């Protein structure tokens, strides 16, 4: 009897200690954020001795249209091991919990043959299964930590973001094309049954407002402002994409906090809460002010864009098109760009946040779009403590050029595991690095 009581006491004591540890740990990161600037200090012992030029040898790879090699992301395994995805390659790189390169592996079919084509791993479900992004025409490959294929989930859309939920389900921020619009939506997919439930959806709207042309006449157009495209006779289609195109709908960002799925809408600043089965619970809004780009700022940007759009640069980007056709296209696009200067009549609001990163204490860090590049300043919205805005903070790092994105920055046990470009590296600059967070 006394032995049982002692055991019970030990268990209770352990639980209290664990609760205290978690509580203190949670406090620690929030306290750090409250101090303002956080310095990211690389752990020099982590990933030491790796031959980065060989491990990331595909870094310089490019296709005819894109430099794809630099697009690498990471996934953290429960034991702290790291898997690095290489876009457009069919293998993954595995690193030990100390960051030492272990091996490259591929997904193997039930017959043991490697898959020729596979997408980056998006997450881990059930604590033991990787799942990839949605591969056309809609397959998600699932495989164990040895690369052995276990099952394929089927969807009929493409993913922007996928996260594992603790109830054997996967939340997906996806998009698909309909005849007249692009649909953005969030679904919850059951890993076991492949059943889907649409949680939230929206469709894009194109802006076809009338505007006053350079001749002073009111004109209507089918062309969205800041969107320039040209169809060459040779069936080659040219388009200048722009993130500040009016009508451009920011896709939803999803995150899991405790037993809730959050759908964050960056344009309105709305955060919608659902349970893990997709039942709507509540919604709230971020409480920092929405920033805008003024008319003069937009006009200045547009003027810079016009200045940059020289015939020389244009012809370099389309070497196969005959010169006469290029001249015609260049003058058409340039005319449209100048027309758009007159179409800028109202300020443009900037989405409230760009991305969300969950730290190892369960806090959600909401990052706003900065005014200048590499400003390293962001808002911290601590959702775990009731979802209220806590402070504004920033990351500073001396040795690396920070790219702040959840697919490149993952928290684990108070550390920040990241794929970043070293400022002083020779050869391939990309590094797998573990940062310790310290107050500046």
Partner 1 sequence: MTCIKDPILLHYLDGELRPGKRLRVEKHLKECTDCTERLELMRLRSSRIKDLLKDLSFEKAVRPSLAWLSNPKDRLPDKSLRTWKKKLIYGVAACALLLVCLYPFRHILVNPQHQMIHLQAMILEVDANRPFTDQETVITVIDSDGNVTYMD
Q: What does the binding site for partner 1 look like in residue numbers (CB under 8 A)?
A: 65-67, 71, 136-137, 158, 177, 182, 227, 229, 235-237, 239, 241-245, 248, 293, 301, 350-351, 354-355, 367-376, 378, 402-405, 407
The SS3 of residue 348 is strand
Minimum CB distance to partner 1, residue 182 (Å): 6
Q: Which is nearer to partner 1, 66 or 436 (CB)?
A: 66
CA 62 centroid distance within chain? 21
Q: Which is nearer to partner 1, 160 or 168 (CB)?
A: 160
Q: Which is nearer to partner 1, 15 or 391 (CB)?
A: 391
Q: Which is nearer to partner 1, 169 or 379 (CB)?
A: 379
Residues 435, 304: Cα–Cα separation, whole Å: 37
Cross-strand bridge partners of residue 83: 75, 94
Q: Cβ-count burial of 373 within 10 angstroms (0-12 exposed, 13-18 middle, 19+ buried)? A: exposed
DSSP collapsed to 3 states, 389-427: EEEEEEEECCCEECCCCCCCEEEECCEEEEEEEECCCCC
Q: Which is nearer to partner 1, 130 or 366 (CB)?
A: 366
Other CB atoms within 10 A of residue 189 CB: 21
Minimum CB distance to partner 1, residue 18 (Å): 33
Minimum CB distance to partner 1, residue 54 (Å): 24
Minimum CB distance to partner 1, residue 383 (Å): 17
Helix (H) or strand (E) holding 82: strand 82-86
Q: Which is nearer to partner 1, 191 or 326 (CB)?
A: 326
CA 13 centroid distance within chain? 41
Q: Which is nearer to partner 1, 275 or 304 (CB)?
A: 304
Structure-token pair, residue 418: 């990241």
Residues 134, 118: Cα–Cα separation, whole Å: 10
Minimum CB distance to partner 1, residue 233 (Å): 12
Structure-token pair, residue 62: 């490019």
Residues 247, 205: Cα–Cα separation, whole Å: 6
Q: Which is nearer to partner 1, 32 or 350 (CB)?
A: 350
**CB contact set of 226 (below 8 Å; sequence gap of 6+):** 242, 244, 245, 246, 302, 340
Minimum CB distance to partner 1, residue 175 (Å): 9
Helices (H), 309-377: 311-317, 323-343
Q: Which is nearer to partner 1, 146 or 237 (CB)?
A: 237
Instruction: Write the CA distances from 336 to 175, 204, 299, 330, integer angstroms.
Output: 29, 23, 14, 10
**Helix (H) and strand (E) counts in the chain:** 5, 31
Length of the chain in terms of residues written:
440
Minimum CB distance to partner 1, residue 246 (Å): 12
Minimum CB distance to partner 1, residue 237 (Å): 6
Minimum CB distance to partner 1, residue 229 (Å): 7
């Amino acid at each position: 009897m006394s032995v049982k009581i002692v055991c019970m006491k030990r268990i209770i004591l352990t639980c209290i200690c664990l609760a205290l540890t978690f509580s203190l740990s949670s406090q620690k990161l929030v306290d750090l954020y409250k101090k303002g600037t956080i310095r990211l200090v690389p752990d020099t012992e982590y990933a030491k001795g790796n031959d980065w030029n060989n491990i990331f040898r595909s870094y310089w790879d490019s296709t005819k249209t894109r430099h794809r090699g630099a697009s690498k992301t990471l996934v953290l395994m429960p034991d702290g091991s790291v898997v690095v995805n290489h876009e457009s390659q069919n293998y993954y790189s595995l690193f030990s919990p100390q960051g030492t390169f272990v091996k490259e592996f591929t997904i193997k079919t039930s017959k043991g043959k490697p898959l020729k084509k596979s997408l980056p791993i998006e997450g881990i479900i059930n604590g033991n299964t990787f799942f990839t992004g949605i591969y056309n025409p809609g397959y998600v490959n699932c495989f164990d930590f040895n690369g052995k294929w276990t099952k394929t989930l089927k969807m009929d859309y493409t993913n922007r973001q996928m996260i594992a939920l603790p109830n054997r389900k996967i939340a997906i921020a996806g998009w698909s094309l309909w005849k007249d619009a692009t649909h953005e939506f969030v679904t919850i997919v059951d890993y076991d049954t492949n059943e889907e439930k649409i949680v939230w959806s929206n469709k894009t709207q194109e802006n076809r407002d009338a505007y006053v042309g350079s001749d002073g006449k009111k004109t209507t157009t089918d062309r969205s402002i800041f969107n320039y495209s040209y169809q060459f006779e040779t069936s080659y289609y040219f388009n200048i994409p722009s993130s500040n195109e009016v009508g451009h709908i920011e896709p939803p960002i999803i995150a899991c906090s405790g037993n809730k799925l959050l759908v964050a809408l960056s344009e309105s600043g709305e955060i919608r809460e659902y349970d893990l089965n997709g039942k709507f619970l509540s919604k709230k809004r971020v409480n920092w002010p929405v920033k805008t780009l003024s008319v003069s700022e937009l006009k200045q940007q547009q003027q810079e864009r016009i200045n940059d759009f020289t015939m020389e640069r244009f012809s370099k980007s389309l070497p196969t098109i005959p010169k006469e056709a290029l001249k015609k296209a260049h003058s058409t696009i340039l005319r449209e760009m100048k027309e758009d200067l007159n179409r800028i009549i109202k300020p443009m609001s900037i989405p409230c946040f760009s991305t969300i990163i969950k730290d190892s204490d369960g806090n959600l860090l909401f990052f706003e779009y900065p005014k200048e590049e590499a400003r390293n300043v962001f808002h911290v919205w601590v959702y775990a403590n009731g979802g209220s805005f806590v402070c504004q903070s920033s990351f500073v790092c001396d040795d690396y050029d920070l790219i702040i994105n959840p697919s490149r920055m993952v928290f684990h046990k108070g550390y920040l595991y990241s794929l970043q470009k070293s400022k002083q590296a020779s050869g391939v600059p990309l590094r797998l690095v573990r940062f310790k967070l310290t107050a500046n």
